[in-house]
């Protein structure tokens, strides 16, 4: 695993992080801590844990695979309220911390980077190493007492019989088991005001890095926080651009797009082998990679994000090309495919998405309709009435469309299904593994439909066009991004800021990078969550 | 001196070298009173065995009441342990019954809590579960306070059930109304939780050193959390409280003697679903045999699981099939799956009945509950739930009957269960105000 180059930075920053510096601003966290009224302790989820230790220690270990799964809310697994602790989790953190500590202390090269010292005296050396390590591990300046306390632990372990390596492992392990490492701590000062309270620069640096990288801040972000200059819209925009160009932004693809567009669902989806003999683990991977590359390219090229619905260029390997029904001679690797001559549009009709939104041996129009409503329009329909769920059987000779029409005869179903069904049926040309078909069981497929507002479409490609013009789409994109960035659902107090972010995004030409900038510079992102009314 | 090796660098699979060690658990001797008349002790263990999507009740409910209940198609595999199992029918979980959709999530959240879950994506709330109450009472006597196990970690995308957070669908164990006890799905990790860190080659001095080392580290981080928490005003301390509770439980485990009994092989990674279920069953047997814990929950699948049971010759996902709409093929498929699930439970019960302990068996001091979040999956019914209660002969209770209730709350069964487990309670959940009368 390549060690991040940012780990090799200067020691100047380090000294500052210990005692606080710059204009007498000493360890700002503690100045506020005594009067804090509200604290959010946002536990790292599995992906964040592994990425953080990768960046902090340069380790190849991925301990989080053993941790219990993170709970999910609003479609994402980084929601503050759902990230809880349990004895099992703590036991596994303890184990991971000790393995990680041994891994780094026993590697001289990495040790000298992570715990540098230039003293021959053992205690000074330990102290120096910790003065460098702790602020980075805990993502904020540390006080003299905090360092002293860890040096005391070191001494205590030495007295107890540990040699110097073992004692250092113990202290590093403690630092990684600490709540200061496992949680992102945000303190809101107790001011008697309705005004939103700004995050400190340190807190903002962490929010930003976990948003775009699912990992800890790098030295540049730390330096800006230390200089007190991060919480400035221009600086934030610059940082967003820089961070989106870093390979660590792959996390946005894996974690944000992976959940928002259900790409992660490909890992577990099951298909009936007789019905879809072509579907194997290789094709599954190809599907995932196509969607991930598409999203990644949107960012890299700073494309118009409506390309999610309208884009005509994708990167595919040979199995995917075949699935798209395009003949080609054998080739290895990937090549670009122009979708404009195919009945396809953007990510909306990609085989990966269609595969996830299907059942083991057939399509799932209702799921596909629900995807559009909830993931693309942020307008999920209310739950079905009681006593209802699952589909009526398709009668012999009946198409899916006809079955759904019959189902809609029931007035208690029609309300929602009048909206839902046409959306889902628009995708009927894409079978259970997303391959295009003209007929289903010998019957010509009719993918046309009408939206509640009266606009009609003849197929999914046209639907994509209509959706791209629907203001709810861009609004939904902003909402999803903001929910993910904040780790919580949006509330009434956020509405004005959501609107502002949307306006800015539109003014910026719907550029993908602007999406992340408008969220990162928004009021909710830069402030503590509004306190509950007493 | 040798350093603390922790859990890795630990490549030996055989966790306990040397000859088999007889099981000698002093606490249990006090339980072995010949009369078995009035035994009330927290030495009893509890296991909850959850299967998703309900059961086809017409093939479940025995025709006759009382002892010697006849084996229906779904219960056939219990034949050799029939006298150790009660079939209790007619129970309902009213708090889990909703007016609108979300029955799987609500049924699962209410499975061991008998409470109504809050319909929300993130600020989850239901109730403390029965197993966790028992865990809290027995934690000082066992190495691990509780063990929450499962097979499915959970799918990685999308919403779970109509506005109910996925937390409700993936957990039956709740340590408090807001905190699910996240389950372990890897049998190797579960094994390590019980036995990891135990090095039979270590001398007593070495073990003391390791213990002291872990203690120092845990004390340090507990102090950090306490002081962090102490800085808070009226803010929400929920997350940090959870952290502190967890660390304190670890500290307790550091001081406790790790379980020791017989030879225990660390499992390999599961090869497939069937192997996975068998490995988890073995972990449960091991944990009970060694008295490593007295509160276990096991989810054979997550709520509304759409698992494919092709290996049983069944076509279609389990959840899809449970919406049978009267289709006889779907119903037959559901029965095949249901019978297999009961057979897995029977296998666990049988294994425990074969492990001798004093005058009896491990089964005698273990109460096992088998059920599902629904009865009829097609109509999402929370009435007439499929319930089995096995074991616990050491309490002196009558076992091996079909008890037919007329819509009694399942929370009353939970009150009875807690009483047999040694708790002095008369209430549980939202509607349990007495023990179940017919039991």
Mark residue B171 as left, alpha or beta (left: phi above 0; alpha: psi -120 to 50; beta: remaining).
beta
Q: What per-residue confidence (pLDDT) applies to A29?
A: 42
Exposure string (b/e) for A239-256, b if CB count within 10 Å is 16 or more? bbeebbeeebbebbbbbb
Per-residue model confidence as pLDDT tens digits over B236-276? 578 888 999 999 999 999 988 777 776 678 899 999 999 99
Considering only CB atoms, B179 lies closest to which of A84, A92, A384, namely: A84
Are B368 and B50 contacting, i.e. CB atoms less than 8 angstroms apart?
A: no
Whether B154 and A99 lie within 8 Å, measured CB to CB: no
Q: Which of B310, B48, B276, B38 is nearest to B171 (CA)?
A: B48
Torsion angle of the four alpha carbons B335, B336, B342, B343, in this order, in degrees rounded to the nearest 10: 150
Mean pLDDT, rounded, of chain A: 89
pTM: 0.89
Q: Which residues contact B382 (CB under 8 A, 6 or more apart)?
A: B92, B93, B94, B96, B97, B103, B107, B110, B374, B375
Q: What per-residue confidence (pLDDT) applies to B108?
A: 96
| Helix B328-353 and helix B273-289, axial crossing angle in degrees, nearest 10 | 30
| Interface test with chain A among B168, B182, B193, by most A beta carbons within 10 Å | B182
First and final C-alpha spacing in chain B: 59
How close is the nearest chain A Cα to the Cα of B156, in Å? 6
Whether A68 and B243 lie within 8 Å, measured CB to CB: no
Q: What per-residue confidence (pLDDT) applies to A529?
A: 80
Pick the residue with more confidence: B360 or A9? Answer: B360
Considering only CB atoms, A71 lies closest to which of B166, B175, B216, namely: B166
Considering only CB atoms, B235 lies closest to which of A36, A75, A92, namely: A36
Pairing of strands A36-43, A183-189: antiparallel
Interface of B with A in 169-228 (CB under 8 A): 170, 175, 178-186, 189, 192-193, 196-197, 209, 212-214, 216-218, 220-221, 223-225, 228
Alpha helices by DSSP H, listed for A115-263, are: 122-138, 144-159, 164-177, 179-182, 201-213, 219-227, 233-245, 250-251, 258-260
| Interface test with chain B among A90, A148, A192, by most B beta carbons within 10 Å | A90
Handedness of CA A257, A262, A266, A268 (dihedral sign): positive
How close is the nearest chain B Cα to the Cα of A86, in Å? 5
Cβ-based contacts of A43 with chain B (< 8 Å):
239
Per-residue model confidence as pLDDT tens digits over A184-227? 999 877 666 677 889 999 999 999 999 999 999 999 999 999 99
Whether B121 and A73 lie within 8 Å, measured CB to CB: yes
Q: Which of B420, B422, B380 is nearest to B396 (CA)?
A: B420
Whether A69 and B250 lie within 8 Å, measured CB to CB: no
What are the structure tokens assigned to B361, written together? 């068996």
Pick the residue with more confidence: A12 or A469? Answer: A469
Interface A:B, Cβ pairs < 8 A: 257
| Interface test with chain A among B117, B184, B217, by most A beta carbons within 10 Å | B217
Q: Cα B93 from chain centroid?
A: 18
- Measured distance CA(B47)–CA(A183) in Å, rounded: 33
Per-residue model confidence as pLDDT tens digits over A118-166? 999 999 999 999 999 999 999 999 999 999 999 999 999 999 989 999 9
Whether A71 and B232 lie within 8 Å, measured CB to CB: no
Q: Which residues contact B106 (CB under 8 A, 6 or more apart)?
A: B96, B97, B98, B116, B117, B161, B164, B168
Q: Is the pLDDT of residue A534 over 70?
A: no
Cβ-based contacts of B156 with chain A (< 8 Å):
258-259, 264-265, 267-268
How close is the nearest chain B Cα to the Cα of A331, in Å? 32
| Helix A87-105 and helix A46-57, axial crossing angle in degrees, nearest 10 | 20
Whether B325 and A33 lie within 8 Å, measured CB to CB: no
Per-residue model confidence as pLDDT tens digits over A251-262? 999 999 999 999
Whether B239 and A183 lie within 8 Å, measured CB to CB: yes
What are the structure tokens assigned to B153, written together? 């970690």
Question: Which DSSP string corresponds to A141-166?
Answer: ---HHHHHHHHHHHHHHHHTT--HHH
Contact status of B338 with chain A (Cβ, < 8 Å): no
Are B412 and B403 contacting, i.e. CB atoms less than 8 angstroms apart?
A: no
Considering only CB atoms, A393 lies closest to which of B247, B322, B327, namely: B327
Whether A489 and B214 lie within 8 Å, measured CB to CB: no
- Measured distance CA(A133)–CA(A126) in Å, rounded: 10
Phi and psi at A402, nearest 5°, equal -65, -40
- Measured distance CA(A76)–CA(A260) in Å, rounded: 8
What are the structure tokens assigned to A29, written together? 């966290």
Whether B213 and A157 lie within 8 Å, measured CB to CB: yes
Q: What per-residue confidence (pLDDT) applies to A456?
A: 95
Q: What per-residue confidence (pLDDT) applies to A315?
A: 96
Q: What is the CA radius of gyration of chain A?
A: 26
Contact status of B19 with chain A (Cβ, < 8 Å): no
Q: What per-residue confidence (pLDDT) applies to B46?
A: 98
Per-residue model confidence as pLDDT tens digits over A231-251? 999 999 999 999 999 999 999
Whether B101 and A488 lie within 8 Å, measured CB to CB: no
- Measured distance CA(A77)–CA(B170) in Å, rounded: 13
Cβ-based contacts of A74 with chain B (< 8 Å):
121-122
Q: Which residues of chain B have pLDDT under 70?
A: 1-42, 156-158, 197-200, 231-236, 262-263
Whether A91 and B181 lie within 8 Å, measured CB to CB: no
The pLDDT of A404-421, averaged and rounded, is 84
How close is the nearest chain A Cα to the Cα of B39, in Å? 31
Pairing of strands B45-51, B295-299: parallel
- For residue B432, list its beta bridge partners: B428
Q: Is the pLDDT of residue A372 over 70?
A: yes
Q: How many CB atoms lie within 10 A of CB A413?
A: 19
What are the structure tokens assigned to B204, written together? 């007593």
The chain A residue lying nearest B319, using CA atoms, is A390
Considering only CB atoms, B224 lies closest to which of A33, A178, A383, namely: A178
Whether A81 and B123 lie within 8 Å, measured CB to CB: yes
Whether B6 and A387 lie within 8 Å, measured CB to CB: no
How close is the nearest chain A Cα to the Cα of B249, in Å? 6
- Measured distance CA(B51)–CA(B104) in Å, rounded: 12
What are the structure tokens assigned to A62, written together? 């991925």
Q: How many CB atoms lie within 10 A of CB B282?
A: 18
Q: Which residues contact A482 (CB under 8 A, 6 or more apart)?
A: A490, A494, A498, A501, A519, A522, A524, A525
Considering only CB atoms, B153 lies closest to which of A69, A90, A387, namely: A69
**Helix-strand-coil split of chain A, %, nearest 5:** 55, 10, 35
Whether B156 and A387 lie within 8 Å, measured CB to CB: no
Q: What per-residue confidence (pLDDT) applies to A194?
A: 72
Per-residue model confidence as pLDDT tens digits over A294-342? 999 999 999 999 999 999 999 999 999 999 999 888 899 999 999 999 9
Q: Dump strand ranges (E) for A14-97.
A: 36-43
Q: Is the pLDDT of residue A428 over 90?
A: yes
pLDDT tier, A532 (very low <50, low <70, confident <90, very high otherwise): low
Whether A258 and B185 lie within 8 Å, measured CB to CB: no
Q: How many CB atoms lie within 10 A of CB A44?
A: 25
Are A93 and A52 contacting, i.e. CB atoms less than 8 angstroms apart?
A: no
- ipTM computed for the complex: 0.87
Q: What per-residue confidence (pLDDT) applies to A291?
A: 98
Whether A268 and B6 lie within 8 Å, measured CB to CB: no
Q: Which of B89, B95, B130 is nearest to B427 (CA)?
A: B130
């Amino acid at each position: 695993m390549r060690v991040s180059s940012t780990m090799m930075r200067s020691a100047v920053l380090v000294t500052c992080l210990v005692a606080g510096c710059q204009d007498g601003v000493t360890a700002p966290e503690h100045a506020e801590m005594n009067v804090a009224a509200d604290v959010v302790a946002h536990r790292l989820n599995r992906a964040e844990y592994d990425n953080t230790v990768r960046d902090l220690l340069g380790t190849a270990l991925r301990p989080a695979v053993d941790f219990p799964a993170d709970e999910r809310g609003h479609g994402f697994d980084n929601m503050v309220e759902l990230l809880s602790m349990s004895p099992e989790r703590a036991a596994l953190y303890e184990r991971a911390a000790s393995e990680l500590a041994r891994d780094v202390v026993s590697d001289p090269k990495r040790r000298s980077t992570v715990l540098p010292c230039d003293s021959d005296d053992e205690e000074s050396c330990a102290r120096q190493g910790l003065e460098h390590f702790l602020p980075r591990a805990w993502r904020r300046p540390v006080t003299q007492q905090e360092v002293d306390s860890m040096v005391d632990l070191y001494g205590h372990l030495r007295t107890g019989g540990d040699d110097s390596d073992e004692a250092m492992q113990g202290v590093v392990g403690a630092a990684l088991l600490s709540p200061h490492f496992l949680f992102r701590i945000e303190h809101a000062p107790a001011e008697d005001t309705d005004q939103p309270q700004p995050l400190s620069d340190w807190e903002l640096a962490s929010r930003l890095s976990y948003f775009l990288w699912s990992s800890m801040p790098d030295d540049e972000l730390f330096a800006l926080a230390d200089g007190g200059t991060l919480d400035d819209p221009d600086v934030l925009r610059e940082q967003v651009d820089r961070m989106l160009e870093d390979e660590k932004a792959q996390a946005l693809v894996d974690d944000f797009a992976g959940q928002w567009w259900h790409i992660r669902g490909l890992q577990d989806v099951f298909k009936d082998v007789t019905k879809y003999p072509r579907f194997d683990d290789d094709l599954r991977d190809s599907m995932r990679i196509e969607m991930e590359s598409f999203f990644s390219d949107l960012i890299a090229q700073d494309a118009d994000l409506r390309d999610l619905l309208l884009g005509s260029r994708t990167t595919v390997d040979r199995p995917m090309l075949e699935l798209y029904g395009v003949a080609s001679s054998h080739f290895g690797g990937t090549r670009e495919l122009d979708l404009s001559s195919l009945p396809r549009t953007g990510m909306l009709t990609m085989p990966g998405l269609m595969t996830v939104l299907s059942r083991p041996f057939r399509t799932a129009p209702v799921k596909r309709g629900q995807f559009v409503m909830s993931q693309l329009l942020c307008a999920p329909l209310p739950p079905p009435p009681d006593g209802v769920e699952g589909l009526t059987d398709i009668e012999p000779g009946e198409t899916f469309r006809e079955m759904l029409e019959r189902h809609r005869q029931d007035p208690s179903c029609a309300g929602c299904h009048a909206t839902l069904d046409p959306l889902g049926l628009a995708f009927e040309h894409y079978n259970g593994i997303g391959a295009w078909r003209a007929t289903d069981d010998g019957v010509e497929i009719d993918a046309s439909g009408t939206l509640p507002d009266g606009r009609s479409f003849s197929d999914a490609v046209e639907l994509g066009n209509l959706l791209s013009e629907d203001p709810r789409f861009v609004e939904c994109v902003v909402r999803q991004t903001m929910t993910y960035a904040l780790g919580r659902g949006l509330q009434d107090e956020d509405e004005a800021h959501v609107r502002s972010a949307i306006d800015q995004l539109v003014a910026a030409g719907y550029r993908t990078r602007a999406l992340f900038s408008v969220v990162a510079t928004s009021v909710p992102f830069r402030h503590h969550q509004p306190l509950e009314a007493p | 001196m040798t350093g603390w090796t922790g859990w890795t660098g630990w490549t030996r699979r055989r966790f306990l070298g040397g000859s088999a060690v007889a099981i000698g658990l002093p606490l249990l001797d006090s339980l072995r009173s010949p009369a078995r008349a009035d035994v009330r002790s927290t030495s009893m263990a509890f296991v909850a065995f959850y299967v998703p999507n309900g059961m086809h009740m017409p093939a479940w409910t025995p025709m006759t009441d009382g002892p010697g209940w006849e084996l229906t198609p779904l219960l056939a595999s219990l034949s050799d342990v029939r006298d150790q199992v009660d079939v209790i029918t007619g129970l309902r979980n009213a708090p889990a019954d909703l007016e609108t959709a979300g029955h799987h999530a609500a049924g699962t959240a209410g499975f061991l809590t008998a409470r109504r879950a809050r319909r929300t994506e993130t600020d989850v709330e239901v109730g403390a579960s029965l197993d966790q109450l028992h865990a809290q009472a027995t934690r000082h006597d066992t190495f691990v306070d509780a063990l929450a196990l499962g097979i499915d970690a959970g799918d990685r995308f999308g919403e779970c059930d109509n506005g109910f957070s996925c937390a409700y669908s993936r957990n039956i164990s709740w340590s408090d109304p807001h905190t699910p006890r996240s389950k372990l799905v890897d049998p190797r990790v579960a094994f390590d939780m019980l036995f990891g860190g135990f090095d039979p080659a270590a001398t007593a001095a070495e073990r003391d050193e390791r213990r002291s080392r872990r203690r120092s580290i845990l004390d340090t981080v507990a102090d950090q959390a306490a002081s962090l928490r102490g800085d808070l005003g009226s803010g929400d301390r929920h997350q940090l409280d959870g952290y502190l509770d967890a660390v304190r439980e670890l500290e307790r485990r550091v001081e406790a003697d790790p379980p020791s009994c017989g030879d225990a092989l660390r499992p390999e990674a599961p090869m497939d679903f069937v192997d996975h279920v068998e490995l988890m069953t073995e972990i449960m047997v091991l944990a009970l045999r060694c008295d490593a814990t007295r509160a276990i929950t096991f989810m054979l699948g997550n709520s509304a699981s759409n698992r494919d049971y092709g290996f049983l010759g069944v076509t279609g996902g389990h959840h899809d099939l449970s919406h049978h709409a009267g289709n006889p093929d779907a119903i037959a498929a559901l029965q095949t799956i249901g019978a297999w699930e009961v057979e897995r439970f029977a296998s666990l019960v049988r294994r425990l009945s074969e492990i001798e302990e004093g005058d009896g068996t491990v089964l005698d001091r273990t109460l096992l509950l088998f059920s599902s979040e629904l009865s009829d999956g097609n109509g999402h019914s929370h009435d007439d739930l499929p319930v089995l209660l096995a074991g616990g002969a050491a309490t002196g209770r009558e076992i091996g009957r079909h008890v037919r209730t007329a819509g009694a709350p399942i929370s009353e069964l939970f009150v009875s269960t807690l009483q047999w487990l040694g708790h002095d309670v008369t209430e549980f959940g939202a509607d349990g105000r007495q023990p179940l009368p017919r039991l």
